[in-house]
Amino acid sequence: MKEKLQKIREHAMAQIREAGNLNALNDVRVAVLGKKGELTSVLKGMKDVAPEERPKVGQLVNETREEIERVLEEAKKKMEALVREERLKAEVIDVTLPAKRNLSGHRHPNTIALEEVERIFIGMGYEVVEGPEIEYDLYNFEKLNIPDGHPAKDEQDTFYINKDIVLRTQTSPCQARVMEQGKLPIRMIAPGRVFRSDEVDATHSPSFHQIEGLVVDKNITFADLKGTLEEFAKELFGPETRTKFRPHHFPFTEPSAEVDVSCFKCGGSGCRFCKGSGWIEILGCGMVHPHVLEMCGIDPEQYTGFAFGMGLERIALLKYEIDDMRLLYENDIRFLGQF
């Protein structure tokens, strides 16, 4: 019996020494001390030992068990420490490495330009309103003095939904919608998307944005229009900016004008940016046509008004010196990241 226990002990010790990992150690435990383990089967054989020998043998078995357990536990602790050390080595953090950059999004150049224009007009007491992108022919053309057969209707190559409904070709229908509500005086701007059946190139897109402006009150004159737009141009392009009103024609304003600003790049002496002229066109405007006021339920004998309309993309392109409108729509992060 003594020899048998000795053998079990030596065998177990050898196996513990050889065990290469925690799982192998556990296998040794099960093989020796487990329910069906070698030592356990010795205990089960105690009934064959002479009764007077039993206490002695029992003590021997217990001593062997305790020793194996102790050595197993030591080996386990050693191995765990080794594993931990290796993991720490593998997971070492180099605090001197440059940090990962957190890329946060930001506003599109169109949005930056729009918010700038809104800020300026809100500062002058204007309200920001919106109209529908899918619009009645009635508002897009008719109430703006553009009846069937009028050449302006052909000029603005229109997307028709049916004969009465169009994708609005301009934000000007917002003028008619606001005037019809009958709340006077009016001081509003109406930004939004417009649509024209145009081919895409550096300056055209079938969908772009305009900002409409409308003021209606008693005693509004062309001087108010000029003063307002001059102030706007100075705010947007800098205090040195000069403005020039060139006579033009729009069906819904009379008289009408196009507004140029002095080139903010060369100051007016002429450069590549203003194509040598010193001036850059930014918008159309005029005094609201009496017939338009009338059609929208406002008495032109009592009230007068002015209106203006500008292309948002054009403002963004000018402000940021971008030479191709397509860049605004392609969503190339290398482009957008620059603003």
Going 244 to 247 to 251 to 254, the CA torsion angle's sign is positive
Residue number of the CB closest to ligand DAH reads 309
Residue 253 CB, shortest distance to ligand DAH, in Å, is 4
Sole window of 97-105, 237-245, 280-288, 321-329 interacting with ligand DAH (rule: CB under 6 A): 280-288
Q: Which of 237, 264, 303, 308 binds ligand DAH (CB under 6 A)?
A: 308
Torsion, CA 246, CA 251, CA 252, CA 257, rounded to 10: 0
| Count of residues that interact with ligand DAH, criterion CB under 6 A | 11
The nearest distance, CB 275 to ligand DAH, in angstroms, is 21
- Is residue 190 part of the contact set for ligand DAH (CB under 6 A)? no
Beta carbon nearer to ligand DAH, 212 or 313 = 212
131 in contact with ligand DAH (CB under 6 A): no
User: Closest approach of Cβ 259 to ligand DAH, in Å?
Assistant: 10
Which of residues 173, 192, 278, 284 is near ligand DAH by CB under 6 A? 284
In the DSSP assignment, the letter for residue 99 is P
Q: Which stretch binds ligand DAH (CB under 6 A): 29-37, 49-57, 107-115, 302-310?
A: 302-310
> Could you write out the DSSP letters of every residue in 197-266?
----SSS--SEEEEEEEEEEETT--HHHHHHHHHHHHHHHH-TT--EEEEEEEETTEEEEEEEEEE-TTT
The answer to whether residues 286 and 250 touch, using CB atoms and an 8 Å cutoff, is: yes
Q: Under the criterion CB under 6 A, does residue 109 sit at the interface with ligand DAH?
A: no
Break the chain down into helix, strand, coil percent, rounded to 5. Answer: 45, 20, 35
CB 230 within 8 A of CB 222: no
- Is 250 a binding residue for ligand DAH by CB under 6 A? The answer is yes
